[in-house]
Amino acid sequence: MAESAPAELNSLTPQRLFHMMAGFKATAVLRAGVALGVFDAVADRPLTAAELAVRLGLDPRGARALTGALAGAGLLAEVGEGRYGLPPGGAELLVTSSPKYCGGIADVACSTGEWTALGVLARTVREGGPLPDKDALGPGFDYWVDFATHTTFGTTRGAQMLADALDPYLADREAPRVLDAACGHGLFGYEIAARHPAAHIVSQDWPEVLAVAEGHAKRQGVRDRVDYLPGDVETVDLGGPYDVIVVANLLFHLDAERAARLVERLAGLLAPGGRLAVVGFTAGDAPAVEQEHAHLLGLLMLSWTDGGEMHSTAGYRAMLARAGLTEADHHSRPGLPLSALIGRRPDAVRQ
């Protein structure tokens, strides 16, 4: 039996409600600070609002309002004499030259596309989705370029989790071939390539997304072992056979039947004994309060896709079984909302 949710999540209070109602304002302040380059501007020395306005070409009144709000949110620090600098952790997380810069994730976690979609959520729930002219599975959907560029807080850990799970199998393969289907940033495949020098990766996605993924491959030093395959994952010739196929953060964009058909298509490209890894968020495996992010993501699927919804681990197991894959092993990490389910193609078809 699942453990009960913490009492503070079971009890509504005026304070919790107000935090939900007003939370979008803090998000807007953070987005504005990142977009305008405020944090880079004060990285070298604290500035007054007037000095910041001159440096960034801002309206003086606007600069005064924004710096006060950023300081109120803890994103800037008041250092005296009307000057603003970075708070503890700000130089590491909010300055673009930092190796641990996270500000760009605002283009993913609170993107303009999400902002717009969720702003009309009541109408979408009433009338059904997707929103007009929105198709997250089609070419030219700008969000995916931002997603591939900035990744998210869990991307690296998710790639490491998957590579850890596949390491024992890949260690016995002489020159494994890996397909990263609808790869986005491509980092799931590139982590495998970095660990296995003989591995060859095929990164598949729309052309504009692959251009970003290629940059990640170069930075990880694996570009010479990556081929790029542009097109629609449901229709393009994917080649094969492959020792490993990764499908990450994709299947919940599809209804259950369409997702199952795609799993069957991918499973058919596996070499005997090959692995198909389904990586992503799931819902329905635990109380909703423990899977909040997945359920919120489901609202974007309603808004952006024709039929997409969050699937459970049991649902993914059924898809793998339908595709003839066995021994579906589940892998997860504490604090990581992503999990992986890895199915195995039999070594040989029984006669």
For residue 32, give its domain range: 14-98
Are 343 and 323 spatial neighbours (Cβ–Cβ below 8 Å)?
Answer: yes
Q: What is the CATH number of the domain that holds 131?
A: 3.40.50.150
| pLDDT at site 302 | 97
- The residue behind tokens 């995916």 is 144
Q: Which two tokens stand for residue 32?
A: 């504005």
SS3 301: helix
Residues 14-35 have pLDDT tens digits of 999 999 999 999 999 999 999 9
Residues 279-307 have pLDDT tens digits of 999 999 989 999 999 999 999 999 999 99
Whether residue 130 is preceded by a cis peptide bond, meaning omega within 30 degrees of 0, is: yes
Are 282 and 291 spatial neighbours (Cβ–Cβ below 8 Å)?
Answer: yes
The total domain count for the chain is 2
| pLDDT at site 351 | 39
Cα–Cα distances in angstroms (integers) from residue 242 to residues 42, 196, 230, 322, in the given order? 50, 15, 17, 19
Backbone phi, psi, residue 24, to 5°: -65, -25
Residue 347: how many other CB atoms lie within 10 Å: 9
| pLDDT at site 86 | 98
Amino acid 234 reads E
Would you say residue 115 lies in a domain?
Answer: no
Instruction: Mark whether 91 and 152 lie in a shared domain.
Output: no
Residues 37-74 have pLDDT tens digits of 999 999 999 999 999 999 999 999 999 999 999 999 99
| pLDDT at site 8 | 56
Would you say residue 307 lies in a domain?
Answer: yes
Would you say residue 105 lies in a domain?
Answer: no
Would you say residue 7 lies in a domain?
Answer: no
Would you say residue 322 lies in a domain?
Answer: yes
**Adjacent-strand bridge partners of 204:** 229
Angle at 332 between CA 151 and CA 278, to 5 degrees: 70
Instruction: Mark whether 87 and 127 lie in a shared domain.
Output: no
| pLDDT at site 152 | 73
| pLDDT at site 318 | 98
The residues near 143 (Cβ < 8 Å, ≥ 6 apart) are: 108, 111, 113, 114, 136
Are 73 and 26 spatial neighbours (Cβ–Cβ below 8 Å)?
Answer: yes
Residues of the chain with pLDDT under 50: 1-5, 350-351
